[in-house]
Amino acid sequence: MMKKIFMMIPFLCLLLGLAVPSHANKYTKIDSDTSSVGFHYTLPDQYNDLQGTIQILCHGTVNYDPLVYCADYLYSPVPESEYDAILQQFNDSPTEENMARIQKSWMYIASLICSDQDLENACRAIGIASLDAEKTFEAGRAGNLKFYYVAFPVDSVSALTYQNLASAYDPKYLAEADLLQTEFSEAFRKATYFAPISPLDKTIGKTLTFETKDLDGNIVKSEDLFRNNQITMVNIWGTWCPNCIGEFPELAQMHREWLTDGCGIVGIEYEKGWNDSVVQLARETLADYEIPFPSVIFPEHNEILDLVESFPTTFFVDQNGTVLSRPIEGAAIEQYRLVMNQLMSRQTLAQPMTLPIEKGSYRVIVTDDEGPVEEVTIQLCDDQSCSIKETDENGTAVFEKKAGVYEVHIIDVPEGYEETDEVFHTQSGPGEIRIHLNKLP
Average pLDDT over residues 301-329: 89
Distance between CA atoms of residues 4 and 22, nearest Å: 7
Which residues on adjacent β-strands are paired with residue 73? 56, 110
- Percentage of the chain lying above the pLDDT 90 cut: 33
Domains of the chain: 9-193 (no CATH), 199-345 (3.40.30.10), 359-436 (2.60.40.10)
What's the confidence (pLDDT) of residue 226?
A: 96
Stronger pLDDT, 107 or 123, i.e. the higher one? 123
Q: How many CA atoms lie within 13 A of 253 on its CB side?
A: 8
Q: Which residues of 399-432 are buried (b: 16+ CB within 10 A; e: fewer)?
A: bebeeeebbbbbbebbeebeeeeeebebeeebee
Distance between CA atoms of residues 331 and 317, nearest Å: 18
Residues ≥6 apart with Cβ < 8 Å to 151: 109, 110, 131, 132, 135, 136, 181, 185
Distance between CA atoms of residues 241 and 330, nearest Å: 11
Distance between CA atoms of residues 176 and 149, nearest Å: 19
Distance between CA atoms of residues 25 and 30, nearest Å: 16
| pLDDT digits 0-9 by tens, 379-436 | 887 765 567 788 988 788 888 777 778 889 898 899 999 988 888 888 766 777 889 8
Looking at every residue in the chain, the average pLDDT score rounds to 80
Distance between CA atoms of residues 143 and 409, nearest Å: 12
Q: Is the pLDDT of residue 358 over 50?
A: no
Rounded CA Rg of the chain: 23
Peptide bond into 66 cis (omega under 30): yes
Distance between CA atoms of residues 298 and 239, nearest Å: 12
| pLDDT digits 0-9 by tens, 23-50 | 332 233 334 568 889 888 887 766 677 8
| pLDDT digits 0-9 by tens, 236-295 | 999 888 889 999 999 999 999 999 889 999 999 998 788 899 999 999 999 999 999 999
Distance between CA atoms of residues 99 and 80, nearest Å: 18
| pLDDT digits 0-9 by tens, 64-97 | 678 888 998 888 888 888 878 877 876 677 677 7
Question: What SS3 class is residue 272?
Answer: coil
What's the confidence (pLDDT) of residue 3?
A: 31
Q: Is the pLDDT of residue 339 over 80?
A: yes
What's the confidence (pLDDT) of residue 252?
A: 96
Q: How confident is the model at residue 167 (pLDDT cuts 50, 70, 90)?
A: low
